Each structure stands twice: as C-alpha cells, then as structure tokens.
Amino acid sequence: MSDTSNRIDSARRAFLNKAGAAAGAAAIAPGVFLTTPAVARPADQPVSSEKRWGILVDTNKCASNCDACVTACKDENGWGSTEHHSSQEQQSQWIRKVEIRNRSTGFVATLPLMCQHCEHPPCVDVCPTGASFKRADGIVLVDKHICIGCRYCMMACPYKARSFIHEDLEDQLPWAPRGKGTVESCTLCVQRVDNDGTPACVEACSAENHNALVFGNLNDENSDISRELARAESIELRADLALNTGVRYRGI
C-alpha cells in the first residue's frame, strides 16, 4: 500500500517538475530556444557572424602517443601521402602533434597545433590579393583561385600553420581543393561545419575516448565549448599578439 502511494507520489512529482519547468521556460523566454535546433545553413545563404567557431584543446586529456586527430585530418582532407617528390620539409601539414617541455620545471605536454583561426589573422592582413580571408563565422581560409603563391602569409603566421604546395597533385578530394603553387592550411573542416558537422580531428579524438578537443560556437554561451571555457582556465597561444584565436588551450 505505502509502496503504491510512494510510486504515485514520485510520478506526480516528476510530472509537476517537468510541467513547472516547461511553464517557467514559456514564461521567462518566449520564442527563445535554450538549445539551438540543428538546421544546416542553406547553401545559397551567406555565413553570418552570429556564430564564431572554435576549438578548445585540453592538453591534460591529450595522449602523448596518440595522433588520431592528425590521421583523421589527412583522411578527411586528402593530404599527407599525396606529395611524392617533395622532401619531408616541403610536404604539407595541416595539423601536427607538438611536444613541449618546460625548460625550468620539466613539465611535459603534447598538443595538436593547427591554424588558430584568429579574429585578427596576420595572414589575412599581409595577403596582397585578399586570397587569405576570414569568413564571417571566424573560419580562416585561402581562396585558391587568387592565391599567387607569394608565401607572405607563411612569413606572417605566428603558428607556422600554413604550407605551400611544392608539386602537382592528383586524386584530390572534391571538398578540399588543393593546388601546386598555392598556400593551404586547416579549414576547420568547413565542408563538415557547413553541414552541421564537427571537424574530423575533434570527432577522431572523441572516438578515441580522449575528448581532448571540444568544438563549437564561441558566440553561444550555452554551447559545450563556451561552458567549458567559462568553467576553467584556458589560454591563447602567443596571447601577447592579441589575435583573439578561435583555438584555445588548457593545461599549459
């Protein structure tokens, strides 16, 4: 008997809780969604600055012997085994694993390093033709049609994020065009992001259960990345340059 009434009570409590929450949400925020519904941006509409994409790299979770993010980027964007004549120093690298060791304390960490998708990208500032550009949503890209291959952006990038293609390429992927004599770098997997996807590196890190990479909209305070950034410390690389990078690091 008492068991039954307890069950009813808990069911009623659960119902009232939900109803109350729903009523509260309806009352305080009509027309506002607490989570953004997943609707891909139609191809004929421009990207907007309502979103700013970013990645948080938690180096505490980044495994030193793992380069799943690098492998995933190669597979997704078709670099890594396509340059047969170029020396190792000449081959493209869109993302790389870096090991750092503090000179005074001996602390060691590993992390992926790629285009930091700066709000004020030096590569875009110096590009003579405007081939280096930043989309409204913060993704920094190279327009391969007007890149003259002057490589000034590579001189200007503080993160050595860009590569120059030293030879003819074959079997390119349709969603990641590349070309001899032009400069390229991480696109934040723009082909995925534009279809509400996640960059390949982030997906691969999660698949490995490391979850060192969090991707999302920095302008949405309820996104996973914004909540993580608000919860604990993080830094920009070369913060002294005040570039306001889209990629941030924790644990170093």
- Determine the interface stretch with another protein among 20-28, 56-64, 159-167, 226-234 (rule: CB under 8 A): 159-167
Contacts of 177 (CB under 8 A, 6+ apart): 144
Q: Does 146 bind another protein (CB under 8 A)?
A: yes
Interface of this chain with another protein, residues 209 to 248, rule: CB under 8 A: 237-238, 241
* Sites for another protein among residues 22-81 (CB under 8 A): none
127/193 with CB nearer another protein:
127
Q: Which of 147, 189, 190, 247 binds another protein (CB under 8 A)?
A: 147
Single residue of 159, 212, 216, 245 touching another protein by CB under 8 A = 159
Residue 250 and residue 60 in contact, taking contact as beta carbons nearer than 8 Å: yes
Distance CA(175)–CA(191), nearest Å, equals 6
Separation between Cα atoms, residue 70 and residue 150, nearest integer Å: 27
- With b for 16 or more beta-carbon neighbours within 10 A and e for fewer, the 72-82 pattern comes to bbbebbbbeeb
Among 35, 37, 39, 99, binds another protein (CB under 8 A): 99
Of 6-14, 31-39, 93-101, 212-220, which part binds another protein (CB under 8 A)?
Answer: 93-101
Q: Which two tokens stand for residue 89?
A: 């120093």
Cβ–Cβ contacts within 10 Å for residue 230, how many? 9
Report the run of H or E that residue 226 belongs to, with start and end: helix 224-231
Task: Find the binder of another protein among 44, 101, 174, 209 (CB under 8 A).
Answer: 101
Provide the greatest CA pair distance for the chain: 83
Q: Which residues bind another protein (CB under 8 A)?
A: 83, 85-87, 89-93, 96-104, 113, 122, 124-131, 146-152, 154-160, 162-168, 180-183, 237-238, 241, 252
